Amino acid sequence: MDTLFISDVHLCQERPEKLALLQALLRGPAREAHALYILGDLFEHFWLGNDERTPPAPQVLSELKDFTASGGQLFILRGNRELVLDRGITELTGGKLLPDLSIVEIAGKQILLCHGDILCSRDIGYQTYRQFMEHSATRSLFLALPYGVRSFLARGLRPLMRRSLQYKRPEIVDADQNTIEQVIRSHGVAELIHGHTHRPGIHHFAINGREIRRIVLGDWYEDDSVLVCRGDQRHLLRVQDYLNQMT
């Protein structure tokens, strides 16, 4: 039975074809899968709280609720667009919110999951922002604001972050190999799955003679991808290709 992973879907009204693709996955082969994992950044906009109503969020949350109500197993990780996401997402979707670094077992193997932003340790500016947003006082203060104020602040933050990225070298915003190895060693695993960097691929390397597999999920901006775990096999596929395989 397949286990599916997606990340960095970045759904928005301007890309209705991606919403349709996710719907096809949720209504089709994902229901026959062992589980679906969403490793962060489901929406293009910043998550504003459990009263989120920025389109297409209400429609997507309803689709996820239908998926879990039909028996689908859904697990969710926070991405850099969802730093204030909390366990209220379970009531909204029926899915389970996992810790930012989580170990799951697939076909008898322990696999470490994360969104991937914590691996970009050379991006000091972002890591400072992340720590600030994760502080309990910051989260509480932000979520206590009226929805319109939260939306206004988030809309103002987006262009600032985009401009900041323009001045950062590619290696700064990519996952740092030393950090990757440190995280893998500290969790005692031989496989890591993450997104965030928008640089999909399957990488093999060794740590102290032990073979390690690191899988980076792709984003859905122009292309799209789903990781299909089938036993010990790993396949990074275009979503439509996977849908075609399963029909």
Give the domain CATH number at 64: 3.60.21.10
Q: How many CA atoms lie within 13 A of 54 on its CB side?
A: 21
d(CA 33, CA 59): 22
Q: Are 33 and 4 in contact (CB under 8 A)?
A: yes
Consecutive 10-residue runs of the chain (247 residues): their mean pLDDT?
A: 98 98 98 98 98 98 99 98 97 98 97 99 96 96 98 91 81 96 98 98 97 99 96 97 95
Does this model's pTM top 0.95? My answer is yes
Contacts of 143 (CB under 8 A, 6+ apart): 49, 84, 150
Q: Give the residue carrying structure tokens 């036993």.
A: 231
d(CA 184, CA 162): 30
The per-residue pLDDT for 167 is: 74
As for how many domains the chain has, the answer is 1
d(CA 110, CA 9): 25
Q: How far is CA 130 from the centre of its chain?
A: 15
The per-residue pLDDT for 170 is: 87
3-state secondary structure of 184: helix
Other C-beta atoms closer than 10 Å to the C-beta of 180 total 20
The per-residue pLDDT for 160 is: 83
C-alpha pair distances (Å), 198 with each of 156, 167, 182: 24, 18, 22
Q: Are 97 and 183 in contact (CB under 8 A)?
A: no
Q: Which domain covers residue 160, as residue numbers?
A: 3-245
C-alpha pair distances (Å), 66 with each of 51, 119, 126, 149, 226: 19, 33, 35, 31, 20
